[in-house]
């Protein structure tokens, strides 16, 4: 049996899970999931919920990326691309027992065309498909008949990056960026022919405009059963947003149903058929569920109590809402998936997604807040090695005892990896993470920071990142490291920085703009030059190009804009790199082109600076194939071991039959570095100015209280029109909460300058049906 200190093999963490992308068929009788087949290729499988009969239903030789049930029994859609190029292909498959095993219908597999499912209500015998087959930047919308396989043009589109449909898959709204930074929603004109729509202005009327600051938390999320009223998450006048409903024909007649209190509105649960509001979630450190409808109160209370130490997540529900698929977020446990039968008020464990990890002790993940140097409150997570000895509260300064109660203060400072999320309009979340489990198993603490520019914590925090690439966004990371050092969590000389996409950019910024801060860095598919990043954006991002340039703070159309981007591009300061660096990239990356890594490696070699560079010829923006993921972790693990001395599972290039090409080995025998000359014939770009780092005051941190263990009633919601009952929101909690998550009265009170900031911290909202292609590195 494995012990607490056992090194978890990479193969148990990064091989393809036996169950992923789980969902229920509309009738609730069949479970679908993706798993590796006998040849190691990810395909779709189904399992009978009642009889457990399991069978493979797609037989592809290339990994299936995703699938969807449809309104036609035994018919599903699945998608693939070409080695990570993100030009998604969509296929139809009849999965009945009598269907030929390898027969499929091609909906779109044209090279260079990106297909997407625009609408699928899982009731009709057709779906809406988007294809950028006429204009690369915009998707035409087609109706695909699931019976006859006929593809009929519905919308000729040369203008809108997003279209929004109602419950009957009728196109109702479209989105277009405006030159003033607002987002305009347009409705279909009553004079337009719904069967032959175009994006011409004559077919559309302006509906509503969303101001630039409100855009991060404003979006429609669904229609009521009549399709006459629209639910929105609405950002105007609120940092965290409100859940509102309004008549479609009078958007100004808005009724507030729910006001977020601590984090942005996350999952919104509607009844699949009658579209009544069931529950709302917020996600700060962990998700909290607020129930709006008494008809599901007993169901949700039962499920919360089933795994009180985890955070309930509703994965899928049947059309009649009698069968649910649920799981629980927990850092210490992989996902357990249950089927809940409402009529029996009983849940049955179906499987654990990573049964091979049974017996290994996994890391805990602790959410906390700290104040950045400008007093903005930043949310973060800390994961310590499972066998790290902890300081008792009595052994630390009084000001730090709250942290010790949480289990955050180790007996001695740890080696630490600052793991920076991509996006940057994304966020780190709580829950089981193979990456965290792997790093902590090797003896590294992991620090994850939701720096300004992240989503989920209110529009103020998200908008604070605009124009701050390489500036305040980086300061937040530096302040997080300083916090960890000041509290005795991290050894200052043993802090690595690592991340993918934006996190890769942050790694390069760390090693060029602050070359003495980090012991080493790992850049995964990160951009090195913000100018060339903008010059090479995928065509289907052009509908959001203004948002992208606002996020970066400059564009490439003016000399001033280019100079601002150059000043924050690590490429032009490569000669500052002092510490070991590893770069990994996919050759087919459509978002951050391979050239971003190639040019940085070339700049380092020009100055005789060693670098480890690994290229994957069959990958894109990240590494999907299990052999490549395993090799990636092998390369990184060996690199971190050389740099900081963590535990190391032996790795040899080629042992996983990966495609990786080691183009440069930073630990090969070194040549003498050429001396840096002080004479140059070209003017050096001026780097973004980073002020001298001043340690944050040790008491300048705030811990919000955790919810009480009893149900707490929200103020009553306003009565919904056309509904008979007044809704109240009930906070759902389990019967037991671990000690480190209980309310804490002994914490240092937040300083006055932070008290007004508490309300601005909130979780991520994800629209459920809009066809959006933002920069999401």
Active-site annotation, residues: 501, 589, 621
**Number of residues in the chain:** 777
Which residues, in sequence order, are bridge partners of residue 662? 614
Sheet strands side by side (includes 277-283): 265-270, 277-283, 287-291, 730-732
Neighbours of 344 (CB within 10 A): 9
Both structure tokens of 739? 């000690």
- Residue 139, classed as helix, strand or coil, is strand
Are 22 and 32 a contacting pair, CB within 8 Å? yes
Neighbour count for residue 121 (Cβ, 10 Å): 18
For residue 54, the SS3 value is strand
Return the CA Rg of the chain. Answer: 26
Sign of CA dihedral 575, 576, 577, 583: negative
Q: Compute, in degrees rounded to 10, the torsion defined by CA atoms 620, 624, 627, 632.
A: 60
Q: For every residue of 199-241, which 3-state class applies, written as one string?
A: CCHHHEEEEEEECHHHHHHCEEEEECCCCCEEEEEECCCCCCC
Residue 332, preceding bond cis, omega within 30 degrees? no
d(CA 741, CA 380): 15
Whether 78 contacts 66, CB under 8 Å: yes
- The region that residue 8 occupies, defined by phi over 0 for left and psi between -120 and 50 for alpha, beta otherwise, is beta
Torsion 608-614-615-621 (CA) sign: negative
How many of the other CB atoms lie within 10 Å of CB of 719? Answer: 12
């Amino acid at each position: 049996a494995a012990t607490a200190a056992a090194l978890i093999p990479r193969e148990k963490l990064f091989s393809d899970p036996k169950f992923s992308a789980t969902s229920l068929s509309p009738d609730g009788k069949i479970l679908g999931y993706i798993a590796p087949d006998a040849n190691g290729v990810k395909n779709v499988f189904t399992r009978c919920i009642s009889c457990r009969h399991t069978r493979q239903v797609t037989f592809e030789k290339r990994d299936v990326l995703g699938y969807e049930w449809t309104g036609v029994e035994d018919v599903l859609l699945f998608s693939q691309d070409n080695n990570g190029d993100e030009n998604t292909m969509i296929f139809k498959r009849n999965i009945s027992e009598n269907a030929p095993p390898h027969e499929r219908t091609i909906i779109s597999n044209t090279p260079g065309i990106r297909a997407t499912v625009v609408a699928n209500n899982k009731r009709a015998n057709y779906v809406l498909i988007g294809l950028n087959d006429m204009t690369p930047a915009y998707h035409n919308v087609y109706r695909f008949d699931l019976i006859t396989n006929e593809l009929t043009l519905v919308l000729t589109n040369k203008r809108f990056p997003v279209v929004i449909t109602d419950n009957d898959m009728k196109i109702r709204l479209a989105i277009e960026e405006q030159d003033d930074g607002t987002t305009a929603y347009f409705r279909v004109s009553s004079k337009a022919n719904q069967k032959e729509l175009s994006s011409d202005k004559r077919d559309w009327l302006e509906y509503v405009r969303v101001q630039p600051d409100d855009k991060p938390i404003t979006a429609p999320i669904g229609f009521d059963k009549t399709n006459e009223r629209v639910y929105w998450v609405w950002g105007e006048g609120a940092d965290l947003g409100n859940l509102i409903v309004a008549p479609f024909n009078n958007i100004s007649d808005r009724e507030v149903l729910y006001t977020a209190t601590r984090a942005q509105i996350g999952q919104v649960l509607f009844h699949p058929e009658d579209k009544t509001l069931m529950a709302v979630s917020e996600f700060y450190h962990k998700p909290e569920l607020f129930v709006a409808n008494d008809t599901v109160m007993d169901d949700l209370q039962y499920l919360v109590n089933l795994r009180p130490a985890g955070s309930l997540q509703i994965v899928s529900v049947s059309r009649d809402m009698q069968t649910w698929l649920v799981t629980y977020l927990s850092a210490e446990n992989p996902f357990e998936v249950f089927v809940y039968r409402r009529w029996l008020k009983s849940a049955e464990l179906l499987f654990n997604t990573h049964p091979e990890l049974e017996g290994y002790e996994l890391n805990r993940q602790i959410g906390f807040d700290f104040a950045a140097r400008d007093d903005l409150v930043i949310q973060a997570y800390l994961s310590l090695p499972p066998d790290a000895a902890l300081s008792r509260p009595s052994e630390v300064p009084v000001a730090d005892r709250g942290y010790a109660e949480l289990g955050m203060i180790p007996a001695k400072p740890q080696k630490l990896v600052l793991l920076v999320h991509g996006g940057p309009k994304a966020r780190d979340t709580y829950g089981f993470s193979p990456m965290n489990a792997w790093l902590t198993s090797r003896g590294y603490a992991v620090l994850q920071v939701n720096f300004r520019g992240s989503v989920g914590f209110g529009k103020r925090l998200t908008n604070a990142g605009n124009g701050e690439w390489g500036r305040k966004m980086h300061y937040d990371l530096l302040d997080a490291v300083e916090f960890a050092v000041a509290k005795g969590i991290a050894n200052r000389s043993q802090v690595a920085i690592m991340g993918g996409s934006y996190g890769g950019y942050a790694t390069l910024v760390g090693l060029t703009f602050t070359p003495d801060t980090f012991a080493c860095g790992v850049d995964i598919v990160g951009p090195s030059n913000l100018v060339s990043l903008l010059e090479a954006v995928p065509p289907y991002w052009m509908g959001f190009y203004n948002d992208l340039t606002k996020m970066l703070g400059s564009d490439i159309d003016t000399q001033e804009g280019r100079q601002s981007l150059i000043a924050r591009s690590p490429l032009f300061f490569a000669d500052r790199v002092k510490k070991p660096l590893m770069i990994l990239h996919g050759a087919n990356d459509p978002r951050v082109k391979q050239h971003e890594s190639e040019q940085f490696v070339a700049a380092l070699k020009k100055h005789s600076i060693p670098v480890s560079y690994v290229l994957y010829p069959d990958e894109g923006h990240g590494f999907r194939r299990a052999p490549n993921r395993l090799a990636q972790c092998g390369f990184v693990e060996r690199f971190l071991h050389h740099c900081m001395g963590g535990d190391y599972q032996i790795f040899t290039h080629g042992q996983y039959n990966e495609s990786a090409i080691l183009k440069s080995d930073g630990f090969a025998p070194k040549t003498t570095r050429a001396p840096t000359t002080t004479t140059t014939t070209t003017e050096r770009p001026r780097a973004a100015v980073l002020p001298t780092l001043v340690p944050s005051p040790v008491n300048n941190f705030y811990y919000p209280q955790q919810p009480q263990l009893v149900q707490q009633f929200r103020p009553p919601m306003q009565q919904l029109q056309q509904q008979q009952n007044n809704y109240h929101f009930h906070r759902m909690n389990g019967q037991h909460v671990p000690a480190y998550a209980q309310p804490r009265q002994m914490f240092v009170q937040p300083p006055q300058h932070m008290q007004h900031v508490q309300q601005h911290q909130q979780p991520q909202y994800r629209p459920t049906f809009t066809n959006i292609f933002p920069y999401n590195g």
